[in-house]
Structures are given as C-alpha cells and as structure tokens.
Amino acid sequence: MNHLLAKKKGHNGGYVKMISDEDIFNLPDDLDNPHDYDTDYKLEDDEWFGIGNFSEIDFCIDLLKNDFNSAEYIQIAIADYNGLKYLCSYQDNRYYYFQKLSNSHTVRRKWFSISQQPEIQNDNPIIILKELPDAIYDSEEDILYFKKLTSITTIFPKIGDLYKEATQKDTEQFLENEFINLSNDYDALKVKKANRKRIAMAMDTFNAFTQQQRSTIYDYIKEYCIDLEFSDTDKNFNIGSEENLKQLMYGIEQRYYTTTIGDEKRLANSITTM
C-alpha cells in the first residue's frame, strides 16, 4: 500500500501521515544510467544524478534506514499544514519519492475545478504536487536519484557537503599564488560563492600541474582570454574582478576549446570525462 507522509519543520518535527492507497508520483522511465554527482556537469533533460549505497552515507535520513510502517505515524492535523518541510511518498514497497515544499506549492487563492457547475473555493488552500519529484530513493538498489542538489538540501541537510566550496583561508591562499596579481582593490573578501566553488575545484587541478604544465596553461589561457592581462615580466595574470577570476578558473580547468571544423573558439559550460 502506498502512503504519503509529510515532514514537519523544527527540531522535533516528526513525520505525519497524510494519504494512503493512492499513487502520488509516477516512476520516471529515465532512471537508468544515473550520472555521478559533479558540480561541473549539467544534466540533460532525461538524466538524473545518482548516489549509490546511499543508506551507508552520513547524510542519509533515518526514515530511509528503518523499516517503513505507516501505522507508526500520527495522522496530520490542520494546524500542521503551516509548517511542512517536505512530502515523502512511499510507493510499491520500494520507492520513496520526495518533494520539497515551499510557499509556491501552496495555493491560497480563489479557485474552481473544471466541471459543468464550477464552484468558487474561497478558503480552501491547496497543495500542488509536482510532476517530477525532487528526489527518488530506490530502497532495493539503494540509490538516491535527484536532479538539482539545491532543491534536496532541505530533505538531506548535510548533502550540501557534496558541493565543495573554498573557505576564506583557501581563497586567500589561492589568490596569493605567484601567477595572480590582484588589482583594482580586488581581494579574497570579494570572491563570491560561484567563484569559491570554482576555486575549490581549480585548486586541486592546479596543484597537480608540473612547472612545465603550468607554463603551458598560461599560454593556453592567454590564447583564449584576450581580456585577461598577462604580464610577461612577472609571469602573472592581472585579476581585478569576479569576471577575470572566472576566466582564469575556466582556463585552469581547460574549458576553452576550438572546434575542429570552423575553428570556432568555445567555452564548455558543462564537462564530463569520457
């Protein structure tokens, strides 16, 4: 039997039971070949990220580790609707479908159903179910599928750790590298979230380069980023803005390429190792 639960907000917020014996979500048919999570990878429409052996990972929640028994959960009360965090639908004795709830999913407007004698509903707010859940956990295969990491961080609070983001210290250290010359009052404090993520990735890549490879990378970046000033005497790039830093990071990750036919210079928006 299928059951829809909701998680209440707050530290002691437990799960409450909402509906039973209904199909809430349908299983997508494109779950085969999930892609390992990678910040640099942009999913195609029919692709999902997948995390295997999920129940053994730190940020797995107890609900997925314990036996499921709907009778253990208290029936939802009207007062509970004000503070719901997410929905979880347990279906076919195997799949857990998650949908994050935000204010946009609750419709508090006037509405009427499509029928021959429509009736205006005034004080009957409704909750909209999405066509695709935010995450799906397959308890038999022990895999968690999702499309957007940011939309499941409320469900699995620690999953954000998958996002590696450079700390202030890492950022400062990175900007002190010889090949970077800060200008225009730009410093580590001004580095925004997106660039911190890129630094976290590029740091490892860059440190793995030999001296020889580093010179090659400088030449490569000079070739593609004409806006980025390079001082031949000091052998460093002039970084004065977020944009400059972004170009440099993309360069270290070797995201620039030239098409074989047509010689068009391009930037790879998303990369994956073949």
Partner 1 sequence: MNFFYRLFLTFNATSLILVVFLVKEQVLINEIDCGLVNLPNYISYLVYFLVPVVMTYLSLLIARFLSKDNIKESSILSIEQANNTFLPSYLGYFFVALSVPYVETLIFAFAILFIFTFLSQTLYFNPLFLVFGYHFYYLNTTNNVQLFVITKKVLKEPKSIEIEQLRRINNFTFIDIKK
Q: Which of 26, 55, 93, 270 binds partner 1 (CB under 8 A)?
A: 93
Which of 107, 126, 245 lies closest to 182 in space, CA to CA?
245
Token readout for 257 is: 């390429």
- E-strand ranges in 114-166 read 126-127, 135-138, 143-146
For 4, other C-beta atoms within 10 Å of its C-beta total 23
Is residue 69 a contact point for partner 1 (CB under 8 A)?
yes
Is residue 68 a contact point for partner 1 (CB under 8 A)?
yes
C-alpha 76, offset from chain centre = 30
Is residue 66 a contact point for partner 1 (CB under 8 A)?
yes
Residue/partner pairs of 62-66 with CB below 8 Å, 24 or more apart: 63/5, 63/15, 63/88, 63/96, 64/96, 64/137, 64/139
Residue/partner pairs of 119-124 with CB below 8 Å, 24 or more apart: none
CB nearer to partner 1: give 7 or 196. Answer: 7
Is residue 67 a contact point for partner 1 (CB under 8 A)?
yes
In whole angstroms, the minimum distance from the beta carbon of 17 to partner 1 comes to: 8
Is residue 75 a contact point for partner 1 (CB under 8 A)?
yes
Q: Which of 10, 12, 21, 207 binds partner 1 (CB under 8 A)?
A: 21
Q: Is 98 exposed, middle or buried (0-12, 13-18, 19+ CB in 10 A)?
A: buried
Helix 193-207 and helix 242-252, axial crossing angle in degrees, nearest 10 = 30
Is residue 70 a contact point for partner 1 (CB under 8 A)?
yes
CB nearer to partner 1: give 22 or 219. Answer: 22
In whole angstroms, the minimum distance from the beta carbon of 72 to partner 1 comes to: 4
Is residue 23 a contact point for partner 1 (CB under 8 A)?
no
CB nearer to partner 1: give 46 or 92. Answer: 92
In whole angstroms, the minimum distance from the beta carbon of 49 to partner 1 comes to: 29
The site for partner 1 (CB under 8 A) is made up of 1, 3, 17, 20-21, 66-72, 74-75, 93
